[in-house]
Amino acid sequence: MKWSIPEKVIERGRTYLNEDRVLSVTPDPEKNVWHAEVLGSELYLVTLDATAKEVDYCQCPYWDEHHYCKHTVAVELYLRKQGKTRMITEKPTAKKQFSPSEMFSNGFARLTAAANETVPLQIEYHVDTIPTNPYHQELDLLGISLKIGYRGTTRNYVVKNIYKFLQMYQEKKSYTANKQFDFLLTDDAFDAPNQALLQRLAGIAQTQQLIGQAGIQVNGKLDKKYLLLPVEYGKALLAQMNTVFGRITIGDHKLKEAVFATGNPLQFDVQKVEDRFVLR
């Protein structure tokens, strides 16, 4: 493995290996390369050079820019786990050649098995106040944002485009966070309360996109990280978020849940002190 590959890319490759995303690795002695299939946001074909030059190839966009990626690293780590090196020790025979159809059939078998193993995911729901006028806090908007991560872990990643995320959830496809981490958004990946809430948010997002409102203006720029919390659904949505993992930020105050009460919301005293009145 080239020393110039960053450690973070190597760690992502190791994660892919541990998640069994390397579906097949087949030697091609005649061309002196390894052919592999790695499941990322889609199925990528990887070619690992078996010579000292290590001129690898991957179909993913990241490889086009850097000439290395987590997929090529995952394949090399797979070989090491099997007790092998890049060097192909098998001698090419006249009849036995690399077969793309064989590689695809092997990979498809593992892909089918992997498709039946849904990775459980967790969602953080955040509701933030977004100022529209620094002198009038009563005009602040409420924006919903999300974080996504693997269930049981402490690391969650910001969803930078909530509209695309919710679309991918409805289509049961993968969403890539931080251009690095792929999350397959199937119903089985979430528990029932999160499924219900995500479906509701997806409906709101579709409605807002139809009327040309996708995102919220933050510091003069359109930020698609936020989904505008509709006033008419505000109380119901906040109550629904109380059943899942959420955070509400109002100015400098952070709350774990929204509390609704009936009756008078404020209690105060007005007292006359000399020639003025004091509100307490």
The pLDDT value recorded for residue 102 is 57
The pLDDT value recorded for residue 170 is 92
- Geometric angle at alpha carbon 128, from 215 and 235, rounded to 5°: 95
Question: What six digits make up the tokens of 196?
Answer: 């219900």
The pLDDT value recorded for residue 252 is 67
Of 115, 146, 181, the residue at which a domain comes to its end is 115
Instruction: Write phi, then psi, for 259 (nearest 5 degrees).
Output: -115, 125
pLDDT per 10-residue tile (average), the chain, 280 residues: 84 92 90 90 86 88 88 94 85 52 57 60 88 79 89 85 92 85 87 92 88 79 87 82 76 67 72 83
**pTM of the predicted protein model:** 0.54
Residue 247: give the domain boundaries. Answer: 121-255
Do 24 and 87 lie in one domain? The reply is: yes
Quickly list DSSP for 68-106: --HHHHHHHHHHHHTT--SS--SPP-SS----HHHHHHH
The pLDDT value recorded for residue 116 is 47
In this structure, the number of other CB atoms found within 10 A of the CB of residue 141 comes to 16
The rounded distance, in Å, linking the Cα atoms of 130 and 142 is: 6
AA identity, residue 203: G
Do 51 and 109 lie in one domain? The reply is: yes
Q: How far is CA 29 from the centre of its chain?
A: 38
Number of structural domains the chain divides into: 2
Of 115, 140, 162, the residue at which a domain comes to its end is 115
The pLDDT value recorded for residue 111 is 57
Do 130 and 102 lie in one domain? The reply is: no
Do 110 and 166 lie in one domain? The reply is: no
